[in-house]
Amino acid sequence: MKIIPPKPFTIESGNRAVLLLHGFTGNTNDVKRLGRYLSERNYTVHAPLYKGHGGDPETLIKTDPIEWWNSVLEGYDELKQRGYDEIAVAGVSLGGIFSLRLGEERPTKAIVAMSAPALAKSVDSLQSRIIDYTIKYKKLSGTYDEQNDNPDKVAQYVQMPSLEYLQGIINDTSSKLDTIQTPVHILRGLRDDEYYCESADLIYNSVKSRIKSVKSFINSGHILTLDQEKEYVFEEVYRFFESLKWNE
């Protein structure tokens, strides 16, 4: 089966701009439906695809987190070049912590951090994501061999040396959360790992934003934008952005 790789997308619909960021081992499909939802309500949206993501695992493991971060900055600059001065950002999982990092380094209208990691996380847990991604990709592409592609064997030949650096980025971003003063809305799924629920509390308690809030979704897991309460998530993001005073 031939896999059609996802691409970055831009939908220009209004003067309010939102940068949408996907997760680690994910792709722009993580945020595509949210993007359509916002664009139908007169928001311009742009979602970059991190370098190495959306294709085969061999390509992914040859990239490193600074390249993914550069993809985020390029996405932000894309909206700037299109003439948008006020840019909000919303991201899920790794995209959530990247959203907060963007708020630390660039002017942002507001930040929506969904299922964002903000506490120290073991490299082994990150490596397991690479293994799961490899197995899923092989199954989708029709190259999966049950005997040779079990997790233990995949772990022997799929190694990503830059994962410690990724954890460093998460830790560095968390250490600077107190520099954020723009409005922040934190979303979490209560069926997600406790790690992410605790991260949401850390983010809320650390940012210095006058406007900040946490919303929990009872029946959702990690990727809120794809889970069973996704329509409520979309509405929550939209209402948050609508509550802000935009220069129009």
- Residue 197 sits in a domain of what CATH number? 3.40.50.1820
Q: What is the mean pLDDT of residues 40-67?
A: 94
Segment 220-248 shows an average pLDDT of 96
Residue 145 lies in a domain: no
| Predicted TM-score of the model (pTM) | 0.94
Instruction: Give domain status of residue 140, yes or no.
Output: no
Mean pLDDT of 23-48: 97
pLDDT at 1 over 60: no
CA separation for the pair 50, 75 (Å, rounded): 10
Q: Partners of 20 in the beta sheet?
A: 90
For residue 132, being part of any structural domain is answered with no
Give the Cα separation of 120 and 171 in Å (integer): 6
Instruction: Check 22, 39, 192, 209 and give the catalytic one.
Output: 192
The question of whether 222 is a catalytic residue gets the answer yes
What mean pLDDT comes out for the span 38-53?
A: 97
Q: What pLDDT, on the 0 to 100 scale, is given for residue 51?
A: 96
* Residue 93 among the catalytic residues: yes
d(CA 22, CA 96): 8
Out of 56, 193, 201, 222, the active site residue is 222
Write down the catalytic residue from 39, 71, 93, 99: 93
- Known catalytic membership, residue 192: yes
Mean pLDDT of all residues in 17-46 = 97
Burial (CB < 10 A; 0-12, 13-18, 19+), residue 15, is middle
Residue 217: strand pairing partners: 189
More confident residue, 64 or 155: 64
Query: Is the residue at 152 inside a domain?
Result: no
Q: Does the pLDDT of residue 95 top 90, yes or no?
A: yes
User: Tokens 């940012």 correspond to what residue?
Assistant: 207
Identify whether 131 is part of a domain: no
Give domain status of residue 105, yes or no. Answer: yes
Domain of 199? 9-120+170-243
Q: Is the residue at 75 inside a domain?
A: yes
Cα separation, 248 vs 171, whole angstroms: 36
Measuring CA to CA, which residue among 98, 222, 223, 111 is closest to residue 172? 98
Q: In angstroms, what CA-CA distances link 235 with 90, 93, 140, 238?
A: 13, 19, 32, 5
Domain count, the chain: 1
- Domain assignment present for residue 149? The answer is no
